[in-house]
Structure 1
């Protein structure tokens, strides 16, 4: 009987050891990929995001030929396009309540099963900015889920990202945005901003009044679908016009400049995957560790 008990105890101990979670050392490429993703998001935090206006983007984050999609904003081609949309649209102080900025951007979920591919979830924390440039009360939070494809040096070559629940976040960061008064303020602010930014060869309206007259007849838009011939799309591009007016002022203008235009749903989100991500389409974000 004693021998049988001993056998049972050893068997139970063996099961416990065998089922214990085995931790393997992280490969260097895993740490490299995670650090790259976190470094990218760190540049969305105020005042780090101001580097987009000075042109001091650290090397090694994005490949010169980086392309990708950020849903619901659009498709982006090349280094400059990519960094503008990642960093140029991060909030900066407006002076208007709640005057929120990103105080942190934490990568809360991360996997990388091979050197070329990773996936992540980041939580942005939006807090009020005080007069002394310290951050104060919580305004809201925002999530971004992304797949990443890296080049041989660890820079991002392709990305496919999604930002859910933007309308709810906007309701907290810009109270009254979708009220008639709020939409009127947005239109006036947009038209005044383009008048001071899109000048000379980059002028797209004869006056703020003409801008208002034309855009007040367009769809206002929805944060769940920024692509389109609408006002919301142009509010993003008037911010980016501060960086490259020759590129983004046409997007603010009456024609939409090929960006703020109607986009067919299937074409925009599915049919042009190979144009955005290359010949493999969404397969770009799949590790080739295993054979099908």
Structure 2
């Protein structure tokens, strides 16, 4: 057997993966924050605890339904920047209101939608650290997935401006791959099949059908994405992959399933997301390094004052 280092001797020298994307390209569409707002205020620990729990309560059902209906939640800054690891980047108050609150309301906003996403019920804060305007928290929400209730841990960093509005968030759904596996296994049990492949096949047809019904009903005129239901169904079931747990922002059926929820709210904005192009939200347009190294968070640093990286691009990661 070759010496353990023999393979590495034939490997090329590693080349750092970098992105040259301009920092402004991600935030130019929302512009600067409102005049007179301090992006780096000095809240006490107790104030941040109360401010953050106010948001967490609004995230739970049925409070999230009321937030979604406001169109522009006052819990979010007009220039809010958000990222969820398994999906994508969301810019601005309206888009973040839709995806933070509207996405987890079951069938309330789109009665014909079917999804693997659940509804967040009660929660417990299990980790919490806060200083000035930055909050780092981990919460466990009980999510109702119709036929099963699962604890879902959500971990994130948040910044709050002087209006006590979220100006930035960077969130991870911990162990989401395991959650998806459990849900697929649960579907297999419900429809009495023996393999996950059979369950995924069933889900592919079921989810594609609801997406296409949504497209036919709401995506009319210039918003139309497919010539008819049949072409939509064929594309979603044959031309793209179902998707893995981390591909809810890629060219997958799961990605389009998420975005169908928002179509009734703003067809002109969201119809392209369920169409063949993916509308910039369901496409394979980013490499892994580009995702990790997005110069995104430009409203305020997530690290203590004076400690941020001198390179503005890296500081915005």
The TM-score with structure 2 as length reference comes to 0.70
Highest CA radius of gyration, 1 or 2?
A: 1
For residue 187 of structure 2, give the secondary structure of its aligned residue in structure 1: coil
> Structure 1 residues 43-52 or 206-215, which shifts more?
43-52
Alignment equivalent of 1:196, drawn from 209, 217, 224:
217
From the superposition, tell whether residues 204 and 226 of structure 1 become closer, same or farther in structure 2 (CA, over 3 Å). same
From the superposition, tell whether residues 238 and 58 of structure 1 become closer, same or farther in structure 2 (CA, over 3 Å). closer
Displacement of 1:225 in angstroms is: 2.6
Distance 2:224 2:260 in 1: 12
From the superposition, tell whether residues 146 and 291 of structure 1 become closer, same or farther in structure 2 (CA, over 3 Å). closer
Deviation sequence 1:6-33 (CA, Å, 0-9, x none)? xxxxxxxxxxxxxxxxxxxxx9632222
Structure 2, unaligned runs of 5 or more: 1-41, 189-198, 310-317
CA contact (8 A) 2:135 2:159 kept: yes
Distance 2:307 2:117 in 1: 49
The answer to whether the aligner puts 1:32 opposite 2:47 as a matched pair is: yes
Partner of 1:117: 134
Displacement of 1:227 in angstroms is: 1.9
Partner of 2:277: 255
The answer to whether the aligner puts 1:150 opposite 2:160 as a matched pair is: yes
Alignment equivalent of 1:176, drawn from 176, 187, 197:
187
Deviation sequence 1:59-92 (CA, Å, 0-9, x none)? 2x21110102110111111111222221121141
The answer to whether the aligner puts 1:106 opposite 2:129 as a matched pair is: no
Displacement of 1:260 in angstroms is: 0.6
> Structure 1 or 2: larger strand share?
1
The TM-score with structure 1 as length reference comes to 0.76
Q: RMSD over aligned Cα, in angstroms?
A: 3.0
The answer to whether the aligner puts 1:277 opposite 2:288 as a matched pair is: no
- Alignment map for 1:65-76 (pairs within 5 Å): 65-76=79-90
Partner of 1:49: 64
Deviation sequence 1:176-205 (CA, Å, 0-9, x none)? 375312222121122112222223332211
- Alignment map for 1:220-235 (pairs within 5 Å): 220-235=242-257
Displacement of 1:226 in angstroms is: 1.5
Structure 1, unaligned runs of 5 or more: 1-26, 130-136
CA contact (8 A) 1:106 1:123 kept: yes
For residue 50 of structure 2, give the secondary structure of its aligned residue in structure 1: helix
From the superposition, tell whether residues 28 and 47 of structure 1 become closer, same or farther in structure 2 (CA, over 3 Å). same
Distance 2:164 2:297 in 1: 17
For residue 59 of structure 2, give the secondary structure of its aligned residue in structure 1: coil
Distance 2:118 2:282 in 1: 26
> Structure 1 or 2: larger helix share?
1
CA contact (8 A) 1:139 1:173 kept: no
From the superposition, tell whether residues 279 and 148 of structure 1 become closer, same or farther in structure 2 (CA, over 3 Å). closer
Alignment equivalent of 1:268, drawn from 274, 291, 299:
291
Distance 2:152 2:273 in 1: 26
Distance 2:152 2:171 in 1: 13
From the superposition, tell whether residues 172 and 102 of structure 1 become closer, same or farther in structure 2 (CA, over 3 Å). farther
Deviation sequence 1:119-173 (CA, Å, 0-9, x none)? 00111102477xxxxxxx9611111100112212322111111112223324445
Displacement of 1:252 in angstroms is: 0.7
- Aligned length, in residue pairs: 251
